[in-house]
Structure 1
Amino acid sequence: MKEEILLLKIHNAIKEGKDYYQSVQGNWKMNAKRIPSIKYVVGIDMQKVVCVFVPTEWHIIQEGPEKGRKYFVGVEASNEILLTMKTKDKQLLKKFGTGSAIAYTSISEVD
């Protein structure tokens, strides 16, 4: 199975006063089939990697206006992983489409 990194632009959530974890946690409109392959969730604020989390469980909202969106519960990644991602921020930013707040890349592309 391909191991992936979920990349999220979080500058709006940061402006609203959310911390890094609250900013990346959810609720994201994404393909549920990708969830098993996501090993890291990376938060990007103002074109810089600012945080990395390791999802331990995923949930899908079952009702209401957010129905179908996904969110995770997780832990902060090691400093080593954060530093690795920070050195690759230009490369990671290229993964986003125009106006998109969510993107994916494979771990092998970052190593």
Structure 2
Amino acid sequence: MEEYCPICKKELEMEEVLEEIDEGTGIYVRTQVCPVCGEGLTDEMEYIRARKELNEQKNILIAEQKIFKLENSLALHFPKSVTDLLELHEKELVKIYITGNKKIMIEPC
């Protein structure tokens, strides 16, 4: 069966390569790359498998911080490496969840 690139519409045999799903994760998907226009095509099931693997990755310790008192509350300082990774900015609203085993999850709104 003949295959055509959805971008350049050329008949072709695609070259299969491994492509990292998100930079630095070490999780790869098999992607077919059009040798004519360079478009990458990933099978939906392959993409779902990789995303599931990414979601199941163990938590990675980025920093250890001491909790400190700030007026009548307790506060936690987020290092720049964490705020850069999460793309958090000053005065940005976040959601704070308490999960099982006394774990805290913070998610940008």
Q: TM-score, normalised by structure 2?
A: 0.24
Where is the helix percentage greater, Structure 1 or Structure 2?
1
Q: Which has the higher contact order (CA 8 A, sep 6+)?
A: 1
Q: TM-score, normalised by structure 1?
A: 0.24
